Chain A
Amino acid sequence: MLKPFRLLRPGTVAEAGEELERHDDAAAIYAGGAELLLLMRQGLLQPEYLIDIKHIPELHGIRRENGGISIGAAVTHWDLERDGEIRKHYPLLAEAESHVGNIRVRNQGTLGGNLCFADPHADPATPLLVLDAEVELGSTRGSRVMPLDDFLLGMYETALEPGEILARVRVEPLPPGWGVAYQRIERFFRPTLNAAVAARSGGNVVNEVRMAVGCVGPRAVRLPDLEGRIRGLTVEDAVEAIRGARELLEEVLMPVDDLLGSAAYKLDITVVALERALRTSMMGGMGD
């Protein structure tokens, strides 16, 4: 049984921010509730007020915008994995979304809830880092935009300030000619580890590359240094470079032991997942 609470249903981002300011720690933002209601049932959270943000039109819809796409924070995983535009132009995100939890979690859970909860064992953040996603945050003070990379601070920690909510996520498509691949290592419903790679091949050479890895440490991490090391190499040399980058990976991923695997195991598997994802993206990418 859930402890009683009061439900608030703001109609705008500013109103939601106002409720958050008014009730402070006594209130929690409620989107799909896939995560929040579980925490409440376990007694880990006992908000007096749930601020239901699903009635805020600004948080809905997948819109084309300045050559990119803008996704409302309240859009569900279910809708994202099926969206024609996303499947066509952002297959890396569509693929990752189609692996979240199970069909019921995807139907109920939202992208915003996923990013704001900031569980290290999550799917969407990893591909979104490769796609250079930006997030738009809103409050009574207006809105601000920042790279997702700056939004994700650590385990269950984001750059959201008191009174602020995540409104939208913006992504630009990759230039034509890039291949993408998503690797998800799983034993249970959440990913043990994931890797997302986008690459533009010139014959056998890695002309351009972007890589990110999730679930290993406190947050998903983009790997600019490793990208720099393998740009311009042949696939085989790039794979060797990845295998030789254990120290670098350990430094930037900050692996931790957890229920899904030891730090050493996750580091080993990171190398495998990156190698596989690079090879697939160099061959034109997923979908084969």
Chain B
Amino acid sequence: MTETLEPVATVQTLPVSISVNGQEWSGEVPVEEVLLDFLRLRLGLTGSKRSCNSEVCGACTVLVDGRPVSACNYLAFEAGGRAVTTVEGLAVDGRLDPIQEAFVDQVAAQCGFCTSGQLMATRALLDENPTPTYDQMAEWLSGNICRCGTYPAIARAIAQVTRATTAEHESIHEEA
């Protein structure tokens, strides 16, 4: 494919309606705008982070209609007519989501840069499978990288949410 020297002059925008954390946003977005910029720059929702910018690290994980996407590499217009949930939308009426509470209890964050992505990926996991085994957690979250190495604490936090007792959790660990 030949390289185009002149970028297209006209920026094409599309009218979209996106529900973000339960609030409807309607307006025009440039077709090339990625969801992460839409959230961070347009709406000021800076909980979702940019790190690798290439679908690898998971720092930008948000949910679109309940499914995880890398907001860094997902065009914003694709969320038109859909419901986007970011870390800012996890708490309901000022009460933390049980996953957030468990992350706090288990100190499942060190620098915290990956944490919003971990929380969103975990939310999607528990919505699909409320009682994951350790292997299932590890497999699901393998695309959410934590440079601080909080993985064991994250596993404990998830086990706490699934109301595993300490004993059950030990056995979850042994399965691995």
Contacts and interface: CB of A to CB of B under 8 A. Distances in A.
Contact of B73 (A25, A26, A33, A45): A33
Chain B contact-residue range equals: 35 or more
Contact of B68 (A3, A26, A41, A103): A103
B143 interface: yes
Interface in B127-143: 140, 142-143
Contact of B32 (A2, A101, A104): A2
B34 A38 contact: no
Contacts, number: 90
Contacts of A28: 1
B97 interface: no
Interface in B1-17: 1-4, 7-8, 10-12, 14
B91 interface: no
A4 B142 contact: no
B61 interface: yes
Contact of A46 (B7, B58, B77): B7
Contacts of B73: 33-34, 37-38, 41, 108
Nearest to B7: A3
Given A33-B75, A104-B143, A48 B70 contact: no
Interface in A40-65: 41, 45-48, 50
A33 B73 CA distance: 8
Report which residue of B73, B77, B121, B124 has the largest number of chain A beta carbons within 10 angstroms of its beta carbon: B73
A105 B31 contact: no
Nearest to A43: B3
B107 interface: no
B113 interface: no
Report which residue of B4, B30, B58, B142 has the largest number of chain A beta carbons within 10 angstroms of its beta carbon: B4
A7 interface: yes
A78 interface: yes
Interface in A1-28: 1-7, 25-26, 28
Contact of A107 (B58, B68, B75): B68
B132 to A, nearest CB: 12
Nearest to B1: A25
Interface of A: 1-7, 25-26, 28, 33-34, 37-38, 41, 45-48, 50, 78, 101-105, 107-108, 189
11 contacts: A2-B32, A5-B32, A6-B8, A6-B31, A33-B74, A34-B73, A48-B4, A103-B124, A104-B61, A107-B69, A108-B73
